[in-house]
Amino acid sequence: MKHTSRKWSLRVIVIGYLAVLVGLPVGYLFIKAFSHGLGAFWSEVTKPNAVAALKLSAEVALIAVPVNTVIGIGAALLLAKKKFFGSRALTLAFDIPVAVSPIIIGVALILAYSRIGWFGGWLSKNGITILFSPVGIVMATMAVSLPYVLRSVLPVLIEVGKDQEQAARTLGAGPFRTFWQITLPAIRWGVLYGVTLTIARTLGEFGAVLVVSGDITGKTQTLPIYIFAVWDQSYDTIGAFAGALVLASISIVALMILSSLRARERKLHVDLA
């Protein structure tokens, strides 16, 4: 009896904590966004500025995600093969964006590449501006979403091991074929997981982009910035919530993909014994 009552009280505490901390805000988001009806929601979401912001976010993601995916897989291949001098430093360097405040990352990019920064003079002579420009936004986004692919691919790569690749080599496959036909398929769930995380992070980045954008009006607004601007300047509740819901929905879809990947991975482990 004592055993089950303790089990139940723990369950209640945990579920209660989660319900208040996580469930409440998420539920409220949905309620508030539709509080003035579906029509109001839709008109907010289809406002030209909102659509432009979504478009910019998508374009930034289209650049940042593939780049970080390639870099992440490349780094995973390097780190899994051999323990070379500096491999520890490399792993550490990848983890920096996760440990550092996005505001600081924004400041860092400004101080390195904008007109007042180190390379600013040379860059502006060649027509590249960082502050107030999409280039800066892309760089900031690439920086904050850097490590996710590496972190999810590396353990999978290590677990898969070298045997399959060596077998392919003995059968006559060269390095490219081995990578495309053998290695990549073997790590594909890790890659998918990492890419999904990267997309979520890329679309949702706020602090670093805010600093790099300079001010929040104008043509360089990603969706998160737009949400902030809508609230900060016009106190437009529905507008802010509508945008927030769109963003949140993308994240929730990403989450569902991630959890189904995790469940599948658990099942796979049983098969491969």
Partner 1 sequence: MSISLSRLTKRYGPNAVVDDVNVEIPEGSLTAILGPSGSGKSTLLKLIAGLEVPDEGRVIIEGDDVTDVDPRYRDIGFCFQHYAPFRHMNVSKNIGFGLRVRKQPKDVIDVKVRELLELVKLEDKANSYPAQLSGGERQRMALARALAIEPRVLLLDEPFGALDAIVRTELRHFVKELHQQIKVTTILVTHDQDEAMEVADQLLIMHAGKIEQAGEPTELYERPATEFVHSFLGPTTLFKGVAVRPHDLELMSPSVGTIEGVVTSIMELGFEIQVTVTLSDGSTPWVQMSRNEFRALGITESSPVSVRERVAP
Partner 2 sequence: MDLPANPSSSLLGAPPARNGWRRFAVRLRASSGAIGGGSLIVGYLSIIVLIPIAAVVAHGFSFSIHTDGWGAAFWHWHLSAGFGTFWSDVTQPAAISAIRLSLWLSLSVAAINAVMGIAIAWVLVRDSFHGKWFVEAFIDLPFALPTIVVGVVLLFLFGTQSPLHIDLFETWMGLMVALLFVTLPFSVRAVQPVLASLDGEAEAAAKSLGAGGLRTFVSVVLPSLWPAVLGGFGLAFARAIGEFGSISLIAGGIGRTTTASSYIYNLTQGFLWTNAAAVSTALLVLSLIVLIASNVFARRVQHRLAP
Which residues are at the interface with partner 1 (CB under 8 A)? 163-164, 166-174, 177, 181-182, 185-186, 188, 268, 271-272
Other C-beta atoms lying within 10 Å of the C-beta of residue 94: 20
Question: What letter would DSSP give residue 216?
Answer: S
Looking at the Cβ atoms of 100 and 186, the one nearer to partner 2 is: 100
Closest CA to 189 of 255, 260, 273: 260
From the list partner 2, partner 1, none, which binds 163 (C-beta under 5 to 8 Å, kind-based)? partner 1
Cβ at position 77, least distance to partner 2 in Å? 7
Cβ at position 15, least distance to partner 2 in Å? 7
Contact of 85 with 162, CB cutoff 8 Å:
no
From the list partner 2, partner 1, none, which binds 238 (C-beta under 5 to 8 Å, kind-based)? none
From the list partner 2, partner 1, none, which binds 25 (C-beta under 5 to 8 Å, kind-based)? partner 2
Tokens of 114: 């904008």
Question: What letter would DSSP give residue 36?
Answer: T
From the list partner 2, partner 1, none, which binds 272 (C-beta under 5 to 8 Å, kind-based)? partner 1
**CA-angle at 67, arms to 71 and 166, nearest 5°:** 40
Looking at the Cβ atoms of 125 and 267, the one nearer to partner 1 is: 267
Q: Which residues of 174-202 are buried (b: 16+ CB within 10 A; e: fewer)?
A: eeeebeeebbeebbebbbbbbbbbbbbbb
Cβ at position 173, least distance to partner 1 in Å? 5
Looking at the Cβ atoms of 159 and 232, the one nearer to partner 1 is: 159
From the list partner 2, partner 1, none, which binds 206 (C-beta under 5 to 8 Å, kind-based)? partner 2
Cβ at position 272, least distance to partner 1 in Å? 6
Other C-beta atoms lying within 10 Å of the C-beta of residue 82: 7
